[in-house]
């Protein structure tokens, strides 16, 4: 019989219970016992959901108070010195507060220390804590939590399968600290502890352990490929069965490596890479189990059970009881329960499946394949087919006008009328800005008061008129402050925006919003991505009234503010019935209209933010160029409808440009503002080496800290920038938007920044 399981379940809880509990604990409003009790309660609820859906295994080990990669770091005793946890490690009992200090620098107990670095997990919006590795590092089993959780599930009577990040992916995600050395030199020490863990689990009666090795879908150096063989030859000695889980893409050139590993089972992603299924089966050992990731773990669409049954029947015939079924990856990346969405319209609801619904899909599919469907499975199959047919033909999904407009795009539509050098002349004449013009990235403090007004408006307690009047008041204040500070290119401050994607999604057709569709982003932080379900249109201008109003209050050239097409795409759940590129192009056309409307309304400077451009890069380098080509084209399509004298800005808040600098230049934005202050302007090297031709605003201060930057320090940073970029092409601005700061920090910081620009003007 086909075995059904999942790789992991969301841990935050349908009502974000874990978020609320951990935050209350951090604030001292909840004690340790109660925090542990809420965690236990959530685990048991999630196991219960898996069990009652009919899965053959209940997956244990996916729970984390903060992050599952951090869990493995503590399991291995990889706790940096500054957290002073040596005795806890030695006793094999790392305290929960130590884990929290590693994650966020502080906890209710213990001395604060710099938190570990955090970064995105593969191509997801989930962030993990980067393991800190140093030469000669020793490892030892340093927490009992995993074993306790296993015992907990067993006591509740469940059939337990354990999941854990695999040893090589853990090392792969880590970063060397101190003296340079080869990370793989730590492998043997890491494996010693994994062997111990596996032996302990076997002692608890665990039969299967799933080791997550998504690093196998990336380009691996030869030494790493060899390390995989070595590592799993060692681990096979463990007295239980191992399943190596790969996801987020195709195994590609690691396919024969993965199928050769001496493990009892392999999980592959058949959603992102359906074409690899037959190749994997051809190479599978005669006794190996294949877990097919058939239900999309990264998106919220209802599975096409009929199509899956047809596709997988031959696989079922070939593999017999060696076939397992699962979602493609952990369900961590989708919201918890669609049933909570009582306000989503019923048609759209029919098209969707969240984590809890995906459990049912996996179970029904396995019974359908075994030819022993229950009446419920049959009904589910029929309902899925009905819903998918409806979705395929729905007028909400397809709009003829959008398709026609897309088909009519000409290559020239993505190009400005003149080259940058000519535009720069026209812009200088029109805008008459001084050397080293000063500006900000867009947002000004989102005060409690602004948020309260928006909440009241959304709750129907504040009329639209009153709300908008309140926002205008805020905009007026922001303009007045900027004028007083002497900023050359003011912004309206984005007071009216809840979130840079949601704000646009709410005004575009083809987008839907959930009430509880939260997905963990990092720690207790969750995001609620919009759902792009249909062809995208802009029923009316989205930002024009606000920018127009702001412009009416000042003689300075106002900068209009838009979120770019790639960022809107990247931070949403997207359609699975057309390419990402097509959806992105549709969004780009609506933004093009918005850019043109802003220009027509007299806004001469327009910024199109693309902070997510880089994170859209595919996991395999070989696919980068294709992505960059359409991503860049979408940006240009939004920007290129304007006259030469209209200045297009873009903004990106990260500091790795080396490998994408050609694409950044290809955007052909007149001005790009970037995050640089923390890297001491070093990242401008990439721009210099590439002979980047347009204007750049390298951030002169870090907005993530409340510290007020001093004038001399910012002047010095700009002097460094001047060694690489000529004065005529430099702007002066902060690293990113100011929405998380208070006015008490923003005003003196910007006053100093303006002074720094004045010093520079005198000198150059
Ligand atoms: N314009 C946005 C702001 O200033 C940009 C935010 C971002 O880069 N993430 O907040
Ligand atoms: Zn930014």
Cβ(569)–Cβ(613) below 8 Å: no
- Residue 429 main-chain phi, psi, to 5 deg: -65, -45
**Residue of minimum CA distance from atom 1 in ligand 1:** 442
- If you average pLDDT over residues 668-677, what whole number do you get? 95
> Quick one: which ligand is closest to 607's CA?
1
Take residue 601 and report the two structure tokens written for it.
Answer: 């309304």
* pLDDT tens digits, 258-275: 999 999 999 999 999 999
What was the ipTM of the complex prediction? 0.99
CA dist 293 and 282 (Å) reads 17
CA dist 651 and 667 (Å) reads 11
Q: Which of 487, 483, 437, 486 is nearest to 670 (CA)?
A: 437
> Quick one: which ligand is closest to 675's CA?
2
> Quick one: which ligand is closest to 564's CA?
1
CA dist 405 and 279 (Å) reads 40
Q: Which of 125, 439, 440, 441 to mutate to test the pocket of ligand 1 (most atoms within 8 A of CB)?
A: 441
Ligand 1 centroid to Cα of residue 422, in Å, is 29
- Residue 26 main-chain phi, psi, to 5 deg: -60, -35
Q: Over pLDDT 90: what percentage of the chain?
A: 97
Q: Which of 560, 611, 673 to mutate to test the pocket of ligand 1 (most atoms within 8 A of CB)?
A: 611
- Whether the CA torsion 247, 250, 253, 259 is positive or negative: it is positive
**Degrees (nearest 5) of the Cα angle 417, 556, 728?**
60
Ligand 2 centroid to Cα of residue 612, in Å, is 10
- Residue 582 main-chain phi, psi, to 5 deg: -65, -45
> Quick one: which ligand is closest to 567's CA?
1
Ligand 2 centroid to Cα of residue 738, in Å, is 9
Any residues with CB less than 8 A from the CB of 754 and at least 6 apart, and which?
438, 485, 486, 487
Q: Which of 572, 499, 531, 501 is nearest to 344 (CA)?
A: 531
**The pLDDT of residue 655:** 74
Burial class (CB in 10 A: 0-12, 13-18, 19+), 169: buried
The pLDDT of residue 680 is above 90: no
Cβ(242)–Cβ(264) below 8 Å: yes
Work out the pLDDT band at 202, boundaries 50, 70, 90. very high
**Residue of minimum CA distance from atom 10 in ligand 1:** 737
CA dist 123 and 146 (Å) reads 27
Q: Which residue has the tokens 């409806």?
A: 390
Range ranked top by mean pLDDT from 85-89, 224-228, 651-655: 224-228
Ligand 2 centroid to Cα of residue 493, in Å, is 14
Q: Give helix 187-203 / helix 145-155 axis angle, nearest 10°.
A: 20
Average pLDDT, the chain: 97
Ligand 1 centroid to Cα of residue 441, in Å, is 6
- If you average pLDDT over residues 336-365, what whole number do you get? 96
- If you average pLDDT over residues 464-482, what whole number do you get? 98
Residue 737 Cα: closest atom of ligand 1: 4
- Cα separation of the two ends of the chain: 77
What single string gives the DSSP state of each residue in 635-689? HHHHHTTS-TTSEEEEEE--S--GGGHHHHHHT--SEEEE--GGGTTTTHHHHHH
**The pLDDT of residue 653:** 86
> Quick one: which ligand is closest to 674's CA?
2
700 DSSP 8-state letter: -
Between β-strands 160-165 and 58-60, what pairing exists: parallel, antiparallel or unpaired? parallel
**The pLDDT of residue 755:** 98
Q: Which of 490, 651, 676, 735 to mutate to test the pocket of ligand 1 (most atoms within 8 A of CB)?
A: 651
CA dist 485 and 143 (Å) reads 54
Rg, Å, the chain Cα set: 27
Residue 442 Cα: closest atom of ligand 1: 4
* pLDDT tens digits, 203-252: 999 999 999 999 999 999 999 999 999 999 999 999 999 999 999 999 99
Three-class secondary structure of residue 217 per DSSP: helix
Burial class (CB in 10 A: 0-12, 13-18, 19+), 340: middle
Take residue 415 and report the two structure tokens written for it.
Answer: 């190009």
Q: Give the largest CA-CA distance in the chain.
A: 82
**The pLDDT of residue 613:** 97
Cβ(599)–Cβ(645) below 8 Å: no
The CA distances from residue 249 to 127, 246, 271, 277, 328, in Å, are 18, 8, 8, 12, 9
Ligand 2 centroid to Cα of residue 176, in Å, is 27
**The pLDDT of residue 504:** 98
H or E segment to which residue 416 belongs:
none
Work out the pLDDT band at 316, boundaries 50, 70, 90. very high
3-state secondary structure 429-443: HHHCCCCCCEECCCE
698 DSSP 8-state letter: E
To the nearest 10°, report the CA torsion of 255, 256, 257, 258.
Answer: 50
Three-class secondary structure of residue 455 per DSSP: helix
**Residue of minimum CA distance from atom 5 in ligand 1:** 737
Q: Which of 534, 653, 545 is nearest to 594 (CA)?
A: 545
* 561 CB-side CA count, 13 A: 26
**The pLDDT of residue 296:** 98
- If you average pLDDT over residues 13-28, what whole number do you get? 97
- Residue 630 main-chain phi, psi, to 5 deg: -75, -30
H or E segment to which residue 326 belongs:
strand 323-327
Residue 561 Cα: closest atom of ligand 1: 1
3-state secondary structure 484-496: HHCCCECECECCC
Ligand 2 centroid to Cα of residue 645, in Å, is 25
The CA distances from residue 628 to 575, 615, 620, 631, 661, in Å, are 20, 11, 13, 5, 11
Q: Where do the DSSP E strands lie in 19-137?
A: 58-60, 118-120, 127-129, 132-133
The pLDDT of residue 704 is above 90: no
**Residue of minimum CA distance from atom 9 in ligand 1:** 611
H or E segment to which residue 624 belongs:
helix 624-639
**Residue of minimum CA distance from atom 3 in ligand 1:** 737
Between β-strands 118-120 and 127-129, what pairing exists: parallel, antiparallel or unpaired? antiparallel
Around ligand 1, the residues with Cβ closer than 6 Å are: 441-443, 500, 561, 609, 611, 651, 653, 736-737, 739
Q: Which residue has the tokens 């966020």?
A: 104
Take residue 653 and report the two structure tokens written for it.
Answer: 């808040």
The pLDDT of residue 679 is above 90: no
Residue 652 Cα: closest atom of ligand 1: 8
Ligand 1 centroid to Cα of residue 494, in Å, is 9
Residue 563 Cα: closest atom of ligand 1: 1
Beta bridge partners of 607: 561, 649
The pLDDT of residue 654 is above 90: no
Beta bridge partners of 532: 511
- The runs of H, that is alpha helices, within 690-742 are 711-722
The pLDDT of residue 698 is above 80: yes
Other beta carbons within 10 Å of 586: 26
**The pLDDT of residue 270:** 98
Q: Which of 494, 502, 605 to mutate to test the pocket of ligand 1 (most atoms within 8 A of CB)?
A: 494
Take residue 581 and report the two structure tokens written for it.
Answer: 């590129």
- Whether the CA torsion 420, 421, 422, 424 is positive or negative: it is positive
The pLDDT of residue 124 is above 80: yes
Ligand 1 centroid to Cα of residue 442, in Å, is 6
Residue 443 Cα: closest atom of ligand 1: 4
> Quick one: which ligand is closest to 610's CA?
1
Cβ(66)–Cβ(523) below 8 Å: yes
**Residue of minimum CA distance from atom 4 in ligand 1:** 737
Any residues with CB less than 8 A from the CB of 120 and at least 6 apart, and which?
126, 127, 128, 615
Ligand 1 centroid to Cα of residue 415, in Å, is 25
- If you average pLDDT over residues 35-61, what whole number do you get? 98
Residue 440 Cα: closest atom of ligand 1: 4
Any residues with CB less than 8 A from the CB of 657 and at least 6 apart, and which?
664, 674, 683, 686, 687
Beta bridge partners of 211: 164, 244
Other beta carbons within 10 Å of 42: 20
Ligand 2 centroid to Cα of residue 651, in Å, is 6
Q: Which of 535, 579, 532, 509 is nearest to 351 (CA)?
A: 532
**The pLDDT of residue 750:** 98
* pLDDT tens digits, 585-643: 999 999 999 999 999 999 999 999 999 999 999 999 999 999 999 999 999 999 999 99
> Quick one: which ligand is closest to 655's CA?
2
* pLDDT tens digits, 539-569: 999 999 999 999 999 999 999 999 999 999 9
**The pLDDT of residue 656:** 85
Three-class secondary structure of residue 577 per DSSP: coil
Ligand 2 centroid to Cα of residue 652, in Å, is 5
Active-site residues, by number, are: 704
Kindly report the length of the chain: 764
- Residue 614 main-chain phi, psi, to 5 deg: -70, -40
């Amino acid at each position: 019989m086909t075995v059904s399981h999942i790789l992991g379940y969301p841990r935050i809880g349908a009502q974000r219970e874990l978020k609320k509990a951990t935050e209350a604990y951090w604030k001292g409003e909840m004690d340790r016992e109660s925090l542990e009790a809420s965690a236990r309660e959530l685990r048991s609820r999630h196991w219960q959901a898996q069990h009652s859906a009919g899965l053959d295994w209940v997956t244990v080990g996916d729970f984390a108070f903060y992050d599952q990669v951090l869990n493995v770091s503590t399991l291995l005793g990889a706790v940096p010195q500054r957290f002073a946890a040596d005795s806890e490690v030695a006793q094999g009992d790392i305290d929960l507060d130590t884990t929290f200090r590693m994650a966020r620098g502080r906890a209710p107990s213990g001395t604060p220390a710099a938190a570990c670095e955090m970064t995105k997990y593969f191509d997801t919006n989930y962030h993990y804590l980067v393991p800190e590795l140093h030469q000669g590092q020793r490892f030892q089993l340093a927490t009992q939590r995993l074993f306790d959780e296993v015992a907990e599930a067993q006591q509740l009577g469940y059939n337990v399968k354990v999941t854990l990040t695999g040893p090589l992916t853990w090392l792969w995600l880590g970063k060397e600290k101190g003296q340079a050395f080869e990370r793989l030199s730590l492998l043997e020490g890491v494996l010693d502890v994994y062997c111990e863990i596996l032996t302990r689990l076997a002692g608890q009666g665990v039969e299967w352990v799933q080791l997550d090795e998504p690093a196998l879908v990336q380009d691996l150096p030869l030494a790493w490929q060899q390390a995989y063989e070595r590592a799993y030859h060692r681990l096979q000695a463990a007295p239980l069965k191992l399943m190596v889980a790969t996801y987020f893409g195709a195994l590609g050139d690691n396919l024969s490596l993965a199928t050769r590993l001496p493990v009892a089972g392999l999980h592959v992603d058949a959603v992102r890479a359906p074409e690899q299924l037959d190749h994997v089966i051809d190479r599978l050992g005669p006794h190996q189990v294949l877990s097919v990731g058939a239900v999309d773990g990264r998106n919220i669409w209802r599975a096409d059970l009929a199509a899956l049954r047809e596709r997988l029947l031959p696989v079922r015939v070939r593999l017999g009881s060696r076939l397992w079924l699962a979602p493609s990856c952990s369900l961590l990346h989708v919201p918890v329960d669609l049933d909570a969405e009582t306000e989503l319209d019923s048609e759209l609801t029919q098209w969707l499946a969240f984590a809890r619904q995906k459990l049912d899909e996996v179970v029904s599919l396995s019974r359908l394949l075994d030819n022993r469907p229950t009446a419920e499975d049959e009904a589910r199959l029929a309902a899925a087919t009905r819903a998918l047919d409806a979705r395929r033909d729905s007028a909400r999904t397809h709009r003829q006008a959008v398709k026609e407009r897309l088909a009519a795009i000409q290559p020239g539509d993505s190009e400005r009328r003149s080259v940058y050098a000519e535009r720069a002349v026209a812009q200088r004449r029109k805008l008459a800005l001084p050397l080293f013009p000063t500006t900000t990235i867009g947002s000004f403090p989102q005060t409690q008061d602004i948020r309260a007004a928006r909440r009241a408006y959304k709750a129907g307690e504040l009329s639209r008129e009153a709300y908008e009047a309140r926002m205008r008041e805020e905009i007026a204040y922001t303009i007045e402050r900027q004028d007083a500070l002497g900023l050359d290119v003011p912004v309206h401050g984005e007071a009216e925006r809840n979130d840079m994607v949601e704000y646009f999604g709410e005004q575009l057709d083809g987008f839907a919003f959930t009430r509880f569709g939260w997905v963990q982003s990092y720690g207790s932080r969750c995001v609620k991505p919009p759902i792009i379900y249909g062809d995208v249109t802009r029923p009316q201008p989205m930002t024009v009234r606000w920018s127009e109003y702001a412009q009416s209050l000042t003689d300075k050239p106002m900068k209009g503010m838009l979120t770019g097409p790639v960022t809107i795409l990247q931070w949403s759940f997207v359609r699975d019935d057309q390419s990402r590129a097509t959806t992105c192009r549709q969004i780009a056309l609506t933004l093009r209209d918005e850019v043109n409307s802003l220009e027509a309304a007299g806004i001469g400077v327009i910024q199109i933010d693309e902070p997510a451009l880089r994170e859209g890069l595919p996991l395999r380098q070989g696919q980068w160029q294709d992505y960059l080509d359409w991503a860049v084209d979408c940006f240009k399509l939004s920007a290129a409808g304007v006259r030469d004298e209209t200045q297009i800005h873009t903004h990106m808040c990260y500091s790795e440009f080396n490998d994408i600098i050609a694409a950044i230049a290809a955007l052909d934005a007149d001005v790009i503002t970037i995050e640089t202050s923390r890297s001491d302007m070093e990242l401008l090297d990439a721009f210099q080496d590439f002979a980047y031709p347009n204007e750049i605003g390298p951030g002169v201060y870090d907005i993530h800290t409340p510290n007020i930057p001093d004038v001399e320090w910012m002047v010095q940073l700009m002097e460094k920038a001047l060694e690489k970029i000529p004065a005529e092409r430099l702007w002066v601005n902060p690293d990113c938007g100011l929405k998380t700061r208070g006015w008490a920090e923003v005003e003196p910081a910007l006053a100093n920044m303006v002074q720094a620009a004045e010093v520079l003007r005198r000198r150059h």
